[in-house]
Every structure is written in structure tokens, then in C-alpha cells.
Amino acid sequence: MNLFEYVDERWSRLGLQAWLHVSAVVQCTIIAAVIGVLIGVAVYRSPIGSTLATALASTILTIPSFALIGLLIPVVGLGVAPSVIPLVLYALLPIVRNTIVGLAGVDPAVADAAKGIGMSRFGVLTRVELRLAWPAILAGMRVATQMLMGIAVIAAYAKGPGLGSEVFSGLTNAGSTNSMNQALTGTIGVVVLALILDGIYVLIARLSVPRGIRV
């Protein structure tokens, strides 16, 4: 059986796995974006705080994903939890870093002008600074999403959702019938989905970022 026949015969199952893979990555990116932006807002005015937040987020990336998931299994069990927690943690660095860079790059004169017309500090942050920092934040989310597409494959080790199960099954049963088809289907599927999501980010940027402040 060739690869195309394998995919055709198992299309419904593979489609579900692809959907679960994308859903897990997108949801974890959104959660990480909320946390990362809040961290960035809290520390961007403090050089020490910014350095510390970036360093801590960078440290997380030094932990091998396979090891982190394995360490979480005895604590939270198998399934969604040991898959979601690492994905959110790994997505933090580009989002935190880009939020800090984006907010710090806002021209102080613009913020002063907003205050001058009566805006509160919160209003300046939400209506001026975060809007101007949005291109950088979106770029961080884009990088995080691409990272998570690959890392999510490892989540299959903890019985997590997605195409990782195809890759793991193919590698575990190497030499058996369809083992190569399984591994290739999972790998190619992840690459295709990553490219589709990247294209969606480009579209979001065109629709949500004014041409004058695109990065």
C-alpha cells in the first residue's frame, strides 16, 4: 500500500487527528498569549523585570520537551493535561519577549499625547500602547505557533491529541506493514498544517495591522 492509498483509507481518522492537533496548538497559543502579554505589561517598564521574565521564559526552552512531558505524567496523569502544560510553557518566550519589545518601542511622545487629552493610564495602555505593540505581539504568537506544531507531536507520548500518534506508531513499529506510511503521514500532515496556520497569521496581520505600523 502506498502513502496515498493509506491516507485515502484512513481519511476520517486522520482528519480528526489533524483537527485535534491544530485545536490543541491554537488553544495553547491563545492561553500563552494571555499569560505572556500580562507578564510583558507587568515588566516592560523595568529593565530588571524584563530581563528576569525573558530569562525565565528562555530557561523553560532549555528543558527537552520529551523530558518535561515525562516528568509531568506522574503528577497530572496521561491525556490533555501533560500535553497542554508544556505547550503553554514553551510558547511563552516569543510572546513575552515580543510584548516587551513592542511596548518598550512605543514612542513616549505618543503616550504623553494620549495622557494630555485626558486618557487614564489604563486607557493609554489598552487603546494606544497595546495597539501599537500588536504587530510585535502577533509576530511572537506566529513564532510560538510554529514551534508548538512540532512540539505537539511529542505529546503523543502522554496520550495527547493530534498527529503525533501516527508518528509514534510508525516509529515504534518500524519495519512492519504501513509503519513508514504512518510516520510520513503524521510528519507531512504537521508540516502542511503549520504552513496553513502561518498563512492565516499573514491574513490576520493584513486585516488587523495598519499598513503604517506593520513589522
pLDDT digits (tens, 9 = 90+) for 40-50: 999 998 999 99
pLDDT digits (tens, 9 = 90+) for 5-41: 778 788 888 889 999 999 999 999 999 999 999 999 9
CATH number at residue 174: 1.10.3720.10
Number of domains in the chain: 1
d(CA 131, CA 169): 45
d(CA 198, CA 195): 5
Q: What is the pTM of this model?
A: 0.89
* Confidence (pLDDT) at 106: 84
Is a pLDDT exceeding 70 seen at residue 212? no
Which residue range forms the structural domain that includes residue 138? 3-213
Annotate 148-211 with DSSP letters as a single string: HHHHHHHGGGGT-SSTHHHHHHHHHTTTSTTHHHHHHHHHHHHHHHHHHHHHHHHHHHHHHS-G
Instruction: Say if residue 152 is exposed, middle or buried (CB neighbours under 10 Å; 0-12, 13-18, 19+).
Output: buried
145, 29 Cβ separation under 8 angstroms: yes
